[in-house]
């Protein structure tokens, strides 16, 4: 191939000159041009749920593309969007009644933030502070970086980011501190919204916290009139063991963001779900109260059809059972690491497992990360550590034998790169 002109995301091209080309995907595998294959242990950035190219989703894409492509969504509608919205309202926590489409996790969060501020302004009680949780990640746009952890990812753009109030991550033993801080902040600042990743903070290091903390955060938010935004971009579609992570805490947020697994990982689509109160806040004979947001590809019919096929797979193919089985395999697989001195912690929530290597540090720029990534890739495994945090977030079709291969490789990585105390 002649010299590539592609600028890749989160890639330092000076240090990663040879970028492998993938020519085909199926199930849990990426296939390279040279005929070798790579086991995708992170579902290609957490999007692939059932496995690559699930036939029902591919068929829905093909069938829909034969009759519908893109349709301007301001002033027009189409059946895939209408049916999908109804399906999402049925599947999501009970208080969510309205679906606003966009095209990536980041845009679904931007929409959520705008809905929250628009709501308060429209009801004549403006609020503008956003409360965020330490170590969170919500995307790479200016707004989503503002509500995410500050650090190397966004240092250059700091002057453009808006101010937020941060509550501590509810690490074991520190849960009350988080709740107390949120109580104080929501009272003092008159906060518009708290945005959280429910149960698992993904890019921040696969940090996990218990469902009761989320329930308490919702209780405090409600008491102070602060909206709760659940960013389920990563945690949705079964990742934490239930369809949405909020459901484990019996919490219905005011706004919920979903993307990634929404189309089973085939094609970009996102949705922001909101309560009727938030919709009604924008429903008015006064045009100034319109929700002023759009993107050109809002509610792409082909993407909506892919998402509908994903919903049908959930209904017809015992996905919940598969997820429960995968969660049990992950929990069992991590047992062998509990007494392994090369790891300082291992944890699991639903289908997600994470281990902290006793070497280097967490975080994207920690030198250990790329070394580990190369080590795994040489064995045909796609594991993309967050610094010293190794995690497995596999497609639900992965087998026990394939998981064992991953645990074996992680154990070997521990021996090779981990430090003994
Ligand atoms: N929110 C969370 C919790 C995420 O994990 C991500 C991406 O990893 C995003 C938002 C941003 O999604 P996208 O990359 O589709 O813009």
Phi, psi of 32 (to 5 degrees): -90, 165
42 secondary structure, DSSP code:
T
Ligand 1 center to 398 CA (angstroms): 23
> Which top CATH class is 57-316?
alpha beta
Residue 357 near residue 417, CB atoms below 8 Å: yes
| The model's pTM | 0.98
Is 212 annotated as ligand-binding?
no
Is 260 annotated as ligand-binding?
yes
More confident residue, 1 or 338: 338
Cα angle, residue 203 at apex, residues 322 and 247 outer, rounded to 5°: 45
On the question of pLDDT at 390 being above 80, the answer is yes
The pLDDT tens digits of the residues spanning 128-174 come to 999 999 999 999 999 999 999 999 889 999 999 999 999 999 999 99
Is 37 annotated as ligand-binding?
no
Nearest to 94 by CA among 259, 297, 244, 301: 244
Separation of alpha carbons 101 and 269, rounded Å: 7
> Average of pLDDT values for 387-416?
97
Domain map (residue ranges) of the chain: 57-316, 318-417
Is 296 annotated as ligand-binding?
yes
The pLDDT tens digits of the residues spanning 166-216 come to 999 999 999 999 999 999 998 877 899 999 999 999 999 999 999 999 999
Backbone torsion region of residue 389, taken as left when φ is above 0, otherwise alpha when ψ lies between -120 and 50, otherwise beta: beta
Cβ(108) – ligand 1 distance below 6 Å:
no
**What number does CATH give the domain 318-417?**
3.90.1150.10
On the question of pLDDT at 364 being above 80, the answer is no
Residue ID of nearest Cα to ligand 1 atom 15? 105
Give the containing element (helix H, strand E) for 310.
Answer: helix 301-316
Q: What is the position in ligand 1's atom list of the atom closest to the CA of 232? A: 3
Q: What is the position in ligand 1's atom list of the atom closest to the CA of 235? A: 3
Least confident among 69-73, 321-325, 363-367, 415-419: 363-367
Give me the pLDDT at residue 1, please.
53
Cβ(231) – ligand 1 distance below 6 Å:
yes
Domains 57-316 and 318-417 are alike in CATH topology: no
């Amino acid at each position: 191939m002649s010299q590539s002109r592609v600028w890749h995301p989160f890639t330092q091209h000076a240090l990663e000159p040879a970028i492998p080309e993938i020519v085909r995907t199926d199930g849990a595998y990426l296939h390279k041009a040279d005929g070798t294959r790579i086991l995708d242990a992170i579902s290609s950035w957490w999007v692939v749920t059932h496995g690559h190219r699930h036939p029902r989703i591919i068929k829905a894409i093909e069938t829909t593309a034969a009759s519908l492509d893109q349709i301007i969504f301001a002033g027009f509608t189409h059946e895939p969007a209408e049916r999908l919205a109804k399906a999402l309202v049925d599947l999501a926590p009970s208080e969510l009644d309205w679906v606003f489409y966009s095209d990536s996790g980041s845009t679904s969060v931007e929409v959520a933030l705008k809905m929250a501020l628009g709501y308060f302004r429209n009801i004549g009680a403006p609020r503008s502070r956003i409360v965020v949780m330490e170590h969170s990640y919500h995307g790479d746009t200016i707004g989503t970086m503002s509500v995410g952890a500050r650090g190397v990812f966004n240092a250059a753009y700091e002057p453009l980011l808006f101010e937020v109030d941060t509550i501590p991550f509810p690490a074991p033993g520190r849960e009350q501190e988080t709740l107390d801080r949120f109580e104080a902040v929501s009272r003092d600042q008159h906060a518009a919204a708290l945005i959280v990743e429910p149960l698992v903070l993904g890019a921040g290091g696969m940090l996990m916290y218990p469902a009761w903390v989320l329930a308490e955060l919702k209780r405090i938010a409600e008491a102070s009139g602060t909206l709760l935004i659940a960013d389920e971009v990563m945690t949705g579609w079964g990742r934490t063991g239930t369809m949405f992570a909020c459901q484990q805490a019996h919490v219905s947020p005011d706004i919920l963001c979903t993307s990634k697994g929404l189309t089973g990982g085939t094609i970009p689509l996102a949705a922001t779900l909101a309560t009727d109160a938030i919709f009604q806040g924008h429903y008015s004979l006064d045009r100034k109260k319109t929700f002023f947001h759009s993107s050109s590809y809002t509610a792409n019919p082909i993407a909506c059809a892919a998402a509908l096929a994903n919903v049908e797979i959930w209904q017809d193919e015992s996905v919940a059972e598969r997820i429960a089985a995968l969660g049990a395999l992950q929990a069992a697989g991590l047992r062998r690491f509990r007494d392994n001195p090369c790891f300082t912690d291992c944890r699991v929530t639903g289908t997600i497992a994470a281990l902290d290597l006793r070497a280097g540090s967490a975080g994207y720029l920690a030198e250990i990360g790329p070394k580990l990534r190369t080590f795994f890739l040489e064995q045909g495994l796609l594991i993309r550590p967050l610094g010293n945090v190794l995690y497995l977030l596999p497609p639900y079709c992965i087998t026990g034998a394939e998981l064992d291969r991953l645990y074996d490789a992680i154990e070997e990585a521990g021996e090779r790169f981990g430090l003994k105390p």
